[in-house]
Amino acid sequence: MPTKEKRVLIVDDDDAIRALLFTILRRRRFAVDGARNGIEALARLRSCVYSVMLLDLMMPMKSGWDVLEELKKLPADARPMVLVLTAGNEPRDLDPSIVSGSIRKPFDVELLMSTVTACMNALNERAQLPDCPPPDSATVPTEKVN
């Protein structure tokens, strides 16, 4: 029987931010995948179940706004909890049935971790089976995390 694992999807076109989030979350023992844009994020969502998604809104090709629209088409229990990453003020048009909260960039690491942890605790019964396909190397930072 597979073990349960809570998984986070980081969706951000900024390689440095994605790498930083990978490092922070992996050090706290979360399973983490990444996507550089909305197209990659939606592909990951079709192949894997995520507990939490950290989503940048302003990205090329398919924005975070587009991803939020696609998430509306999924049943509520099939969607990850979404935390929007934003460099500006909190957007006013966020649908509370889709978005659980927002985190301003540059983010406070402790606030980020407490927010992600609170989301995971709220989803205690929901977990990811560990058979997600590996992400492609372009979306995952290559440095080792101790």
More confident residue, 134 or 35: 35
User: What dihedral do alpha carbons 102, 104, 105, 108 form, nearest 10°?
Assistant: -100
- Could you tell me the two tokens for 12? 């951000």
Q: What is the pLDDT of residues 64-102, one digit of tens each?
A: 999 999 999 988 878 899 999 988 766 778 888 889 888
- The reported pTM is 0.82
Give the per-residue pLDDT at 4. 54
Q: What is the pLDDT of residues 17-30, one digit of tens each?
A: 999 999 999 998 88
The 3 state secondary structure assigned to 37-74 is CHHHHHHHHHHCCCCEEEEECCCCCCCHHHHHHHHCCC
Task: Report all structural domains of the chain as residue ranges with CATH numbers, in order of start.
Answer: 7-122 (3.40.50.2300)
